[in-house]
Amino acid sequence: MKKYKFTINGNEYETEILNFEDNIAEIEVNGSLYKVELSQEIKTQKTPKLIRQKAVPSTDVHPSVAKTSSPTAPKGSGTIKSPLPGTILDVFVKEGDQVQRGQKVLMLEAMKMENNIEADKSGKIAAIHKQKGDSVMEGDILITIE
């Protein structure tokens, strides 16, 4: 918890408070452990612990689910989803175009910044779900690639 250095009668002591409950403290002094009882209870301030949820990218909503397509979906198809809420500034492809993995397919404005959205796989553009000027939310499907 907290470390302190004391000098008493010319002798230096390194102490560390390991645990503190009610009026009993566990203190380590120069490597030796002591339990110390205080005559009056010291009220400790409770600081709330912030617990963050596990971060999951918006494109992987269910990371434990196998990534298989439905039987009616075209084999090898995939979707490009919006990583952030924002507005579509420009679409650089049209339906039927062939794209390569990493190719810029559209530009999204989010939080006053321009974000290039790239194809995550190679293939043919099957559908463009959002157009220039459309507002999108995180996880919205923007483009389908087959």
Looking at residue 24, what is its pLDDT? 83
> What average pLDDT does this structure show over 45-73?
58
* Position 125 in a domain: yes
Placement of tokens 């008493």 in the chain: 8
Does 48 reside within a domain?
no
- Residue 55 per-residue DSSP state: P
User: Tell me, what's the pLDDT at 101?
Assistant: 87
Tell me, yes or no, whether 30 lies in a domain.
yes
Q: Is 20 a member of any domain?
A: yes
**129 neighbors 143 (Cβ within 8 angstroms):** yes
Q: How confident is the model at residue 63 (pLDDT cuts 50, 70, 90)?
A: very low
Same domain? For 29 and 85 the reply is no
Asked, for residue 16, whether it belongs to a domain, the answer is: yes
User: What is each CA distance from 83 to 10, 49, 104, 140, in whole angstroms?
Assistant: 63, 28, 14, 8
Residue 63, classed as helix, strand or coil, is coil
- pLDDT, residue 41, reads 57
Q: Mark whether 90 and 141 lie in a shared domain.
A: yes
Classify residue 123: in a domain, yes or no: yes
Token pair for 91: 């679409």
**How many structural domains compose the chain?**
2
CATH number of the structural domain spanning residue 141:
2.40.50.100
Q: What is the pLDDT of residues 18-57, one digit of tens each?
A: 887 777 888 888 888 888 887 765 566 677 777 776 665 5
Q: Is residue 66 part of a domain?
A: no
Alpha helices, H only, 2-55:
none
- pLDDT exceeds cutoff 70 at 58: no
Full domain range(s) for residue 94: 78-145
Residue 47 covered by a domain: no
Beta carbons of 14 and 3 less than 8 angstroms apart: yes
pLDDT of 112-142, one tens digit each?
A: 889 898 988 888 999 999 899 999 998 889 9
Q: Which residue has the higher pLDDT, 8 or 47?
A: 8
- For 50-53, which contacts have Cβ atoms below 8 Å and span 24 or more sequence positions? none
Query: Which of 111 and 73 is assigned the larger pLDDT?
Result: 111
* Mean of pLDDT over the chain: 80
